[in-house]
Every structure is written in C-alpha cells, then in structure tokens.
Amino acid sequence: MGRIPEWVVEEVRARADVVDIIGSYVSLRRAGNAWTARCPFHNEKTPSFHVNPQRQMYYCFGCGRGGDVFRFVMERENLLFPDAVELLASRVGVVIPEDHSQPGGNAAPNRNIRNRLYALNEEFARFFERTLAQNPDGAAARYLATRQLPPEMIRQFRIGAAPPGWDDCLRYGRGLGFSEDEMVLGGILRRNDESGRIYDHFRDRLTFAIWNERGDVVGFSARSLETKPEYGKYVNTPETPVFKKGQLLYALPFARKAMQEQNCAILCEGQLDTIAMHRAGFPQTMAPQGTGFTADQSRILNRYVDRVLLAFDADNAGQKAIRSALELLLPLEMEVRIIRIPGGKDPDELYRNNGPEAVAGAVHSAVSWIEYLRDTWHHRGGLDSPAEQGRMLADAVSLLLLLENPIQQELYLRETARVLTISEKSLAAEIARQKRQRQRSYAGSGGQNQTAAAAPADPPAPSPAAAPAVPPQMRTAELTLLELALASEELARQIAAAPESEHLPDDTAGRALNAVLAATINGEHAEAGAAAAALLGENPDPDVARCLISGCSYPEKQWKKAAADCLTALREADARRSREKILAELRQASPARQLELLAELEKLDDTGKM
C-alpha cells in the first residue's frame, strides 16, 4: 500500500499525546497515574476505558478494544491507518510531504484518486475566485455587494463565481491535465445518463469552497443568482471519495481554534449565516454541510467541545433541525442551548440590519433546550388543556431519556420541573413510566429497541485476523512474558538471553515482545513500552494493548518463576509443533527421508523438549 514515511509517523506519534487526542473525543477523569472514561466504543455505565499516558496506550476492560493513538483514531473515525496519520498530523502541526505514495497494494490507487481530487478542487477554487475578481460588474459580485461582504471575508472564505458557459470548467480542467472522468468523479462536471453528454455542474452560480477537517478543499456549494432558478437555489458537489456531506462542517478549519479555547461551538444553517457570525465576533461558528445535522457531525463536535449553541432558522425546517440535533447531541453529554433570532430573522439578516451587537445579544441570550421546548409548545397554543400539557411533558421526557449520565439526568430533571412548573416527583414518575414502556418494547422486539433514539453504530470489533494462529499455551506464555519484560529490565534481559526467545511466534504479541527485548538490549528499557505500542497502529491486538496499559498481573515475588514457566511452555509448544510437522511429513516421505525424520524425532525426545 502507499505508505507515509516512517519518520513522519514517528513525528506524529511524538506530538499526538494520547490523553489530549482521546480527551477531545470523550471526557477523561484522572485516576492515579492514568485516566478513565466511559468507553466510546460500547455502551456502559461504569467507566472501564483506561488511558495510560506513560505508555501512550488505551484499553477498555469491558469490550477489549485497545491500542495507541493511531488505532484510536482509526476505530473512532472509521479510517485506514494512513488517513488516521494524516488527520492527526493536521491536528499536531506535522507537514506530510506530498510525494510519499509508493506503488503496489490496493490502497495506492485509492490514495492517488483522493490526491487528484484534492488537487482538482483546489485548482477550481482558485478558478472560481479569479472568475469573481475579474468580473466586478457580474451578477455574483453584485449579489455579494447586497450582502455587504467585505473583500477580506470573500478571500478568507474563498467565495467565487462559476462562469456561465456549458463547458468553461471542462475546457479549463482539460488545460490543467485533468481527465473528463476525474472531473465527473469530483463533481465539477455532470454526465447525462441518457445521452452521455458532459457539461459544467456549477454553471453561472456563486460558489463557496467546502473544506474537510484538515483544511483541504473537497467540494463546493453553489448558489443560483436567478430569481426563480430552474435547478434549485443551491447545488452542491455530489458524494465523491473526498466529499461526504454528512461528515463535513462548513468553516470547521476556521472555527477549530476558537471553539477549543471557549469550549463552545455555534451551528447555523448555511454559509452566509456562518460568515455573518464570524463577522460578528463568533469565529466558533460552523454549518452542517447538507440538508440535516448528522451523527458523524455530532461526533466531530464532541471531539472539540462540551457545549453547542444552535442558531437554526425559525421556520418548520429549522425547528425540525433543532429537534434532530438535540437527539444526537444530548446522548453525548453535551450542553445544548438555542439562539433565538429576533423577528424570525436568520443570523445574516440580523447582522446586516442590526449589526454585531444584535448578534451578540442573541448569542448571550441563548436559552436551554428545555426552555426552548416550553416556548415552542406555547407558540403552538397547545398548553391550554391538561392533555396538551401532558403531551409536552412526554416530549420533554423523551429527550431526558437520551441522557445516560445519571447525575446529568437528575440535574436536567430539576431544571425541567422548574421550567415546566411541575413537581420533580411527577416528572420522575413519568420518566420511570417511559423507561418501563421502552423496556417492554425492547423485549417484544427480540432485543432490538425500536423506540430508542438512533445511535451511531459501534465501529467493528477488532478483526479475528488480529488474533494469532498459535497454540493457546504459547499465546498465554508470550503475553505473560510481555508483562514481565515490561515490568522488570532485569527480567527482560534474562528473557532476551534465553534460547526460547529466538523462536517467538510471528504474531503481534511475539513482535511486541521482541520489540521490548530489543529496546532493553539497546539500553532503552524505559522506551520499551512505546516500542511495542508502535506495532499496534496497523496490527491491532487487544490482549497486547491490555498488557501495555495494565502492568504486570503477577506479584513481584513470583516474577522469576512465572518467566521460567513461560519459557518452558514456549519450548514445549515449539517442540510440539516441530513434532507434528515431522509426523505429517513422515506419512508421505520416501524410505530414506523417513529414516532422517525418525532420527529428528529421536533427537527431540533425547533433548527433553517433549
């Protein structure tokens, strides 16, 4: 597969502290010299997920997932190893050389395609920017003038204009050496399914560059400048190998620093609203790239912040978007507040008509989601009867049940009781009733909870391929030796000197033990754990991760005996495998070869290896 240079991987590993990176995804709490959390890979109430900063490892004692910082990002983001390295590199400031691909393997063609699409989108972002700048009297420039967008914001957000011709982009891309197929794949061109005719996708529209988390341009959102556009007000880049709209947040690269500093993100509905919020002094603002907020986008936010403000429109679509966002963000233990724009305006209109002070006032007056829920029911005129009040209560409880943290649920219960002016006892009873109802529904569906809010699917468990094809006794022995070698430099040297260490299995555990022994021989026992952990990025093994993070499970007075027993077990297992190999060959060997094999068997017995 195409590989990133090893020195780059090691530089990223050195800078990407496992506590900092994992802490941007989950809430870690210090426990002695380690950190704990509820596992992000499976549902649990008691924290069993541990992070060891000394060895830069994590391990969950509940589900068995474990590894280093690369493995965590791979499983959490569903990425291949090179993509995890690239994402982490962008976060810790390591520049990866462009020419790092190597031929061979299935991943190289995919990587080359992605690189070509990154280049394609970057070139067309520049093309659209130049088209806008060179046509100051064009429709796009006039529209931006009505929106009062200053030149510096146009440049920062890479706003441009697509030319009006049917083949302007086609001809420009050809001139740069891009093929028609590449431009169709990247969404710059469209192909008519019936006629096969190829034409420009973003013809005569205002364009907004869309970035991924690393800051690469991966696509465009293009606004029509016509009063009644034939093909919709906005058209976007279709799904491509680099443009997955449900995994993108508009302006995330610009918002990252501010939202980390303030532990707060603001979500709007569109590009112009986002830009208006940045102009008003709220650079932590982003927008979902697509028609709705997704689980992937909620997980991205959860990596950076604990608090989200929603500034969606006041129309029905905006209200549905708020409800959908609540259902995704509350289970992640995030605080959610709602920004109410006066007069039903959107942030862009509020900024243009009333200035940044009005925007700041709306942000600082954001209400809790409970208050928002109450006010929504009030506006519907649906609180005039006990029945309607009961329905509002049931609606509130359905959101409270999304809170898995019992302390958080209790605090929200108190606030909900206060806001809805009901007793905490009545609210607690309604929560208990809905819980029982859901449990009955769960049991009746054969264990598939049809009433629970949609939750992101767990990443796949470590592949069975990660488990070594070695005898159980040998597997147990090598893992125990790994624990002992990590615990004691003296024992590690003794194990390295034993003849059995030359015949360790070629599995992840065996390679990890060899890495520890090699580091010890080189006088670097303090770095032995990191040397073993480095193997887990591309070769996950939960048992090895457990050994690296949890320390030795044997009392110190038993270390030497345990090491001796394990070396004996390795010797016997190796001899057993040799004997089985000889017996298998003996059945089909020639008479002369049979004599040689029998002599080998006799030698095994005489040396006491069996």
DSSP secondary structure string, 535-567? GGTTS--HHHHHHHHH---S-GGGHHHHHHHHH
What is the spatial distance between Cα 533 and Cα 14, in angstroms, rounded to a whole number? 12
Model pLDDT, residue 382: 58
| C-alpha distances out from residue 493 to 325, 406, 516, 534, 572, Å | 56, 49, 10, 21, 21
Q: Which two tokens stand for residue 407?
A: 């302390």
To the question of domain 107-243 being in CATH 3.30.980.10, the answer is no
pLDDT bin (cut points 50, 70, 90) of residue 141 is: very high
Q: What is the mean pLDDT of residues 135-164?
A: 94
Q: Distance between alpha carbon 494 and the CA centroid of its chain, in Å?
A: 42
The 10 Å Cβ neighbour count of residue 268 is: 27
Cβ-contact 375, 367 below 8 angstroms: yes
Model pLDDT, residue 383: 59
Does pTM surpass 0.85? no
Q: Which helix (H) or strand (E) holds 483?
A: helix 472-487
To the question of domain 6-92 being in CATH 3.90.580.10, the answer is yes
* Tens digits of residue pLDDT in 234-274: 899 998 888 988 889 999 989 988 888 888 999 998 899 99
What is the spatial distance between Cα 266 and Cα 254, in angstroms, rounded to a whole number? 13
| C-alpha distances out from residue 206 to 132, 147, 170, 238, Å | 8, 13, 18, 17
Pairing of strands 285-288, 265-267: parallel
Burial 152-187 (b: 16+ CB within 10 A, else e): ebbeebbbbbbbeeeebbbebbeeeebeeebbbbbb
What is the spatial distance between Cα 17 and Cα 102, in angstroms, rounded to a whole number? 28
What is the spatial distance between Cα 461 and Cα 97, in angstroms, rounded to a whole number? 32
| C-alpha distances out from residue 254 to 220, 258, 290, 310, Å | 17, 8, 19, 18
pLDDT bin (cut points 50, 70, 90) of residue 91 is: confident
| C-alpha distances out from residue 213 to 273, 418, 449, 477, Å | 20, 40, 33, 44
Burial zone of 609 (CB within 10 Å; 0-12 exposed, 13-18 middle, 19+ buried): middle
Do 107-243 and 249-365 have matching folds? Answer: no
Cα dihedral 460, 462, 466, 469, rounded to 10, equals -90
What is the spatial distance between Cα 419 and Cα 429, in angstroms, rounded to a whole number? 17
Res. 501: pLDDT tops 70 = yes
What is the spatial distance between Cα 423 and Cα 410, in angstroms, rounded to a whole number? 13
- 310: which strand partners? 267, 338
CATH topology of domain 249-365: Dna Topoisomerase Vi A Subunit; Chain: A, domain 2 (3.40.1360)
- What lies within 8 Å, CB to CB, of 181 at 6+ separation is none
What is the spatial distance between Cα 482 and Cα 546, in angstroms, rounded to a whole number? 11
The CA-based angle 449-320-412, given to 5 degrees, is: 65
Model pLDDT, residue 427: 84
Q: Any idea which residue has 């996708």 for tokens?
A: 201
Top-ranked range on mean pLDDT: pick from 325-334, 524-533, 548-557: 325-334
| Domain range annotation of the chain | 6-92, 107-243, 249-365, 374-443, 468-606
How would you write 259-306 as a 3-class SS string? HHHHCCEEECCCHHHHHHHHHCCCCCEEEECCCCCCHHHHHHHHHHCC
* Tens digits of residue pLDDT in 568-610: 888 887 777 777 677 777 677 777 777 776 776 666 655 544 4
Res. 180: pLDDT tops 90 = yes
